[in-house]
Amino acid sequence: MNPPAPEPMPLGRGEMLELTSARGIAALAVVLYHVDAYCGGVIYRALPTPYFGPLAVDFFFVLSGFVMAHVYGRSWAEGRYSHAGFLVRRFARIWPLHMACLLLVAAIVLGGAKAGLAPQWEPTWSSFLAHAAMLHATGLSPEKAWNQPSWSVSAEWTAYLAFPLYLMLANLFRSPIAKLAAAAGLLAALWLCLKALFGLDFFTLTTFGALRIIPLFFAGIVLRQIMGLGYGRALDVSALNRLLLAAVAALYLGMAFQAPFAAMWVLLLALLYLLALRSQRDAGDVMRSAPMVWSGAISYALYLVHGPVLMVVYGLGSKLAGVSSDLGKLALGGVAIVIAVTGAAIAHHLIEVPAQRLILRIGHQAKRPQPAAEPAA
């Protein structure tokens, strides 16, 4: 007997609060990763920070595929999906704040030049335009430049452009095992080809991040389809809590003992799936607390804002004020984190949300049928 065809499962809550909170944790992990880079690896003496950035970004990629399938899977299955409408909504969600932060970095670079400070990358018009078009993770920008963390925003945009292809591919596989095997096969094929042909490490791709997101975004989609088939719904809250604790512990131990990224990738998928299942249970805890959900709400802003903040704080502190001790650099990092979180909250409320609403309003008005022209007199 064939398994039931995958279909979007109405999950009761529009927003999965555990996943929202997890976004906040992942964004903070990226911030710590970059702070440690500015500190010369001081934090790494206590925490496995080299894993924080890459794994957090990969988690974002899987989460993005999962959420897109969750939100748009039903309309796709029912034949109501509009790719143009989807792209307008995603553009409104990610581009305005990305562009605002890109302009901020450009202003910082110009100001730094007057003070005799120059970035470690080459600021060119071609790379600026590639960033503005959110295409800098396709190889159009030869190095990480401008707002460097935004390479993943570009990768996300390329995945959005091809979203229907992802859905069609995912629907070719019926069983959960086949779906997961397809995701693993995509990962293995890309990893082997990039290594053999170009000597590139798949798990650290940035300027070609559009390739890195492919199996991760696809994995998120198939995980949502697997959830739609009901797998894991029988687990109660207690069992899910134990499994989540085990997954988090395994993930941390893997980082601490420098496990291969491929092994960590499996744990990321398990963690996301368990969090999604947990979000469908009636149980209040810290992951649904107001501060955690708020951190998830501003996570995109924090991800984009922290880069310019670190440039300014460490540019002023290390290069101009001469802060060079480990303790001094850590103190600068603490200051930068406070400024970044504050700036992210402001940017979220004053730029990200209003700009998104404005673009959606313009798009909605453009779709309205125009009145028929009056006949000539």
Task: Encode pLDDT of 3-31 as tens digits.
Answer: 444 444 553 346 789 999 999 999 999 99
- Residue 146, pLDDT above cutoff 90: yes
- Residue 2, pLDDT above cutoff 80: no
Pairwise pLDDT comparison (93 vs 365), residue with the higher score: 93
Handedness of CA 345, 248, 190, 177 (dihedral sign): negative
Amino acid, single-letter form, for residue 215: P
Q: Is residue 292 part of a domain?
A: yes
- Residue 154, pLDDT above cutoff 90: yes
Tally of CB atoms within 10 A around 271: 20
What's 364's DSSP letter? H
Torsion of the alpha carbons at 39, 253, 62 and 195, rounded to the nearest 10: 80
221 by Cβ neighbours in 10 Å (0-12 / 13-18 / 19+) ranks as buried
Q: Is residue 215 part of a domain?
A: yes
Tell me the residue range of the domain where 88 lies. 17-364
What's 201's DSSP letter? -
263 by Cβ neighbours in 10 Å (0-12 / 13-18 / 19+) ranks as exposed
Q: Is residue 201 part of a domain?
A: yes
Grade residue 285 by pLDDT with cuts at 50, 70 and 90. Answer: confident
Q: Is residue 371 part of a domain?
A: no
- Residue 282, pLDDT above cutoff 90: no
Q: What is the pLDDT of residues 239-266, one digit of tens each?
A: 999 999 999 999 999 999 999 888 898 9
What's 163's DSSP letter? H
Q: Is residue 39 part of a domain?
A: yes
**Total structural domains within the chain:** 1
- Residue 377, pLDDT above cutoff 60: no
Q: Is residue 12 part of a domain?
A: no
Please spell the DSSP secondary structure of 202-223, one letter per residue: GGG-STTHHHHHHHHHHHHHHH
Q: Is residue 376 part of a domain?
A: no
Please spell the DSSP secondary structure of 8-40, one letter per residue: ----S-SS-HHHHHHHHHHHHHHHHHHHHHHHT
Q: Is residue 377 part of a domain?
A: no
Give, in order, the Cα–Cα distances in Å from 301 to each of 23, 98, 314: 11, 9, 20
Q: What is the structure's pLDDT at 367?
A: 66
Mean pLDDT of the chain: 90
